[in-house]
Amino acid sequence: MAETSSSSEDYNRHHIPIEIISDDEMAFIEAALTLASTRSFSAVRSSSSSSFSKSPLQNNALSITVVSKRRLSSGSDIEDLPTCKKKHTLSDSFLRRFRNKRGLSVTDLTSTEWCPKQMEFSLLLGGRKVNQAMKAGIARHAKLEEEVLKRVEVKVKYQEDYWALKFLNFINGVNQLLFEGLTREMPLIGFAEDIWIVGVIDEIRMPLTGNDHNPILIDTKTRARDTLPAEPQRRNGRLQLMCYKYLWDNLVADNFPSKIFYTYFGLNSQHNLCEDLKVTSADSGFSATTLDDVVRYYRNTCRMLAPAHDQLLLRYEYQKDHSLLGEDKFAYDHDWLKNQIRLCLEFWLGEQEATYTPEEERWKCRYCQFGAVCPAYNDSEGTKAPKKP
């Protein structure tokens, strides 16, 4: 994996010790599993730095396909979970069962890298409820978004309209990036490794001077304590940003198979867009009446962009006062990323059973909500984890 070049100036100024992890931070990571799909399909923006959010679907509307999770009680025995005992076939893989017509989110990949077994339990037993640390992180990202975007409601009724909103969000985010040099909460919808992957980039900056026109991808992590995260967390953050660059670069190379997109998500490319979207597209600088019009403009927008910068940036903020704890600047490592994605997809495609986190990282287990049903978890004294209340 690529070496990490951290901001020594920030570190020296704050004299911050590095901890393994805090309870709140661990909860923050686990809660991200619950919100992965929600954040992947978030608001849309306009070319005038406005953001359009999806209104609640009408009762007679076609709903966005969301596959329900199979919920079991926390007291279920591990042997009662058939997927824990054998490999899946493609037809009953986790990808098909839980992400059919949705695609994987980047958070799905990073959560799998964190612990495949925890990801499996999260799918089968349900994710963790949002706690105060998670709420604080969500609020901070919303605040950062409000600094450059304004939310405006757009009513949508059909899946085609909803996807059109996502593409318009990207198009208008690109417009803002090119004219202002900064945009935030940029949605990505891309095709990589024969899988549809979606995500939301925290921040993108465009160098406005010199000959460098490669966008810089940035992700901001909030910390419940004024300490920097342990290496496994930083590695997980690097994976996230590298995934964004990989998706971005694929889009720039025009690797977006439209026909496969329509087929996979069950969409009508000639669907007549709602009036709000027609107005929105006109405000964005082009005329669109169908979903295919928007997709074609989306692809044209991608073609005029440069690949993302090879230097990526993770920022760590203290939740209490939003002060900068440190920056993790690192280089994109294509080979390492491809290997990590391959390992994650083996799990999602049913080619490999879920593995446990490595022995040297079993400290994660002390904060995992599934310790009561996970046979790999033992505390430092070698005793079984207590049952959940």
- The per-residue pLDDT for range 167-181, each reduced to its tens digit, is 999 999 999 999 889
Q: Would 208 be classed as within a structural domain?
A: yes
58-91 pLDDT, tens digit each = 322 222 222 222 233 333 333 344 443 444 455 6
Question: Which of 358, 355, 330 lies closest to 343, judged by CA?
Answer: 355
Cα 324 to Cα 220: distance, rounded to the nearest angstrom:
10
Tokens of 297: 């403009």
275-285 pLDDT, tens digit each = 999 998 998 88
**What amino acid is encoded at 73 in this protein?**
S
99-116 pLDDT, tens digit each = 999 899 999 999 999 999
Which strand (E) or helix (H) includes residue 355?
Answer: none
DSSP-assigned beta bridge partners for residue 378: 384
**pLDDT of amino acid 48:** 37
Q: Would 99 be classed as within a structural domain?
A: no
Assign 385 a pLDDT band (cuts: 50, 70, 90). very low
User: What's the DSSP call for residue 207?
Assistant: -
Q: Would 82 be classed as within a structural domain?
A: no
Please give the average per-residue pLDDT across 132-144, as a whole number: 65
Q: Say if residue 45's pLDDT is above 70.
A: no
Question: Which of 173, 113, 108, 133 lies closest to 25, judged by CA?
Answer: 133
Please give the average per-residue pLDDT across 40-45, as a whole number: 40
Tokens of 238: 């690097």
Q: State the total domains in the chain.
A: 1
**pLDDT of amino acid 225:** 87
Q: Which of 73-87, 135-149, 175-189, 289-303 has the lowest mean pLDDT?
A: 73-87
**pLDDT of amino acid 283:** 87
Assign 132 a pLDDT band (cuts: 50, 70, 90). low
Q: What is the largest CA-CA distance in the chain?
A: 66
Please compute, for residue 315, the number of CA atoms within 13 A of its CA located in the half-sphere on the CB side: 15
Q: Say if residue 42's pLDDT is above 50.
A: no
Asked if residue 330 lies in contact with residue 4, where contact means CB atoms within 8 angstroms, the answer is yes
Residue 320 CA from chain centroid, whole number: 24
Please give the average per-residue pLDDT across 12-33, as a whole number: 39
Can you give the residue range of the structural domain that contains 250?
Answer: 4-55+106-367
Q: Would 329 be classed as within a structural domain?
A: yes
Dihedral, CA of residue 63, residue 173, residue 51 and residue 255, to nearest 10: 0
Cα 329 to Cα 3: distance, rounded to the nearest angstrom:
9
**What amino acid is encoded at 387 in this protein?**
K
Q: Would 216 be classed as within a structural domain?
A: yes
Assign 273 a pLDDT band (cuts: 50, 70, 90). very high
Q: Where are the beta strands (DSSP E) in the chain?
A: 4-6, 44-45, 50-54, 104-105, 150-154, 182-192, 195-205, 216-223, 311-318, 324-331
Please give the average per-residue pLDDT across 291-302, as a whole number: 97
Q: Which pTM value belongs to this model?
A: 0.76
Cα 342 to Cα 98: distance, rounded to the nearest angstrom:
19
213-265 pLDDT, tens digit each = 899 999 999 888 899 999 999 999 999 999 999 999 999 999 999 999 999 99
Cα 54 to Cα 283: distance, rounded to the nearest angstrom:
18
Task: Give helix 106-114 / helix 116-125 axis angle, nearest 10°.
Answer: 120
**pLDDT of amino acid 51:** 36
Q: Say if residue 200's pLDDT is above 60.
A: yes
**pLDDT of amino acid 33:** 38
Question: Which of 107, 125, 86, 123 lies closest to 344, judged by CA?
Answer: 107
Asked if residue 313 lies in contact with residue 218, where contact means CB atoms within 8 angstroms, the answer is yes
Q: Say if residue 191's pLDDT is above 90.
A: yes
Q: Would 92 be classed as within a structural domain?
A: no
**pLDDT of amino acid 134:** 63
DSSP 99-135: HTTT-EEHHHHHHHHH-HHHHHHHHHH--PPP-HHHH
Residues 6+ apart with CB under 8 A from 15: none
Q: Would 387 be classed as within a structural domain?
A: no
**pLDDT of amino acid 89:** 55
Dihedral, CA of residue 116, residue 118, residue 121 and residue 125, to nearest 10: -140
Q: What percent of the chain shows pLDDT beyond 70?
A: 67
**pLDDT of amino acid 147:** 67
Of residues 155 and 198, more confidence is placed in 198
Number of H helices, E strands in the chain: 12, 10
Residues 6+ apart with CB under 8 A from 365: 357, 371, 374, 376, 377, 378, 385
Tokens of 335: 């080979």
Please give the average per-residue pLDDT across 115-120, as a whole number: 94
Assign 129 a pLDDT band (cuts: 50, 70, 90). low
Cα 27 to Cα 29: distance, rounded to the nearest angstrom:
5
Q: Say if residue 21's pLDDT is above 80.
A: no
**pLDDT of amino acid 136:** 65
Q: Would 77 be classed as within a structural domain?
A: no
Assign 140 a pLDDT band (cuts: 50, 70, 90). low
**pLDDT of amino acid 128:** 62
**What amino acid is encoded at 307 in this protein?**
P
Distances in whole angstroms, Cα of residue 38 to Cα of each of 328, 354, 368: 27, 24, 22
**pLDDT of amino acid 1:** 39
User: What's the DSSP call for residue 202?
Assistant: E
Tell the residue number behind the tokens 């403009």, with chain if given: 297
